[in-house]
Amino acid sequence: MITGASRGLGAAVAAALAPTHTLVLAGRPSSRLDAVAERHGASTLTVDLADADAIPAAVESVDELDVLVHNAGVAFPARVAESTVEEWRTTMEVNVIGAVALTLALLPALRAVGGHVVFVNSGSGINASPGLASYSGSKFALRSFADSLRNDEPALRVTSVHPGRIATEMQEGLVAYEGGTYDPSRFLSPETVARVIADAVHSPPDGHIHEVIVRPRGHS
């Protein structure tokens, strides 16, 4: 199961895992999500991460799950003084509470097969990024949840992936906020990060990759 698969990194992850996995793409219904599903012979599942109370019923039919990739997320470019409580609330609801709710609802299905949970985090989950106050806060919290899940569920594999900046629509918005000119060649491609995620998923079962950090070449 992959969240946020309608475009960008999520769509690239779907492409990377389609040859080896039967995919379920979870998210709000959209023509873009349907197109990705059709391309890879995947099914879709209506899940709204902003509505945590509805998540258990949305996934109750899933009884076994090998891999859960948490990719969906939102970002509101803003420094602390520019940010609003509503932006913080929305960011935390989607990036953290939604991910927690989905994981808890799917724990029995993951336990049934000794599954693997992959959290697409960010460099902002290690070092707070200027201009991304609420986003950075949510990614630190998501990293902590992943660490707790790994500690408390030893039968599962739990991996946090911390990419640097990726050439996506979200990145275009951030560059515009910074007053720069968007040049995708400066950033990681979604396909590169998807390959890193797929490599973690395909690692031998006796290995447990806790954390992966990947940056654009030439960047620290």
* Angle (nearest 5°) at CA 94 between 175 and 211: 75
Beta-bridge partner residues of 118: 69, 159
Catalytic (active site) residue 182? no
Which residues, other chains included, contact 193 with Cβ-Cβ below 8 Å and sequence gap of 6+? 9, 12, 120, 161, 163, 166, 214
Catalytic residue among 76, 119, 135, 145: 135
Per residue in 5-44, is it b (16+ CB within 10 Å) or e — as a string?
bbbbbbbbbbbbbbeebebbbbbeeeeebeebbeebebeb
- Count H helices, E strands: the chain? 8, 7
Residue 84 CB neighbours (<10 A): 11
Give the whole-angstrom CA distance, residue 163 versus residue 168. 12
> Which residues are known to be catalytic?
135
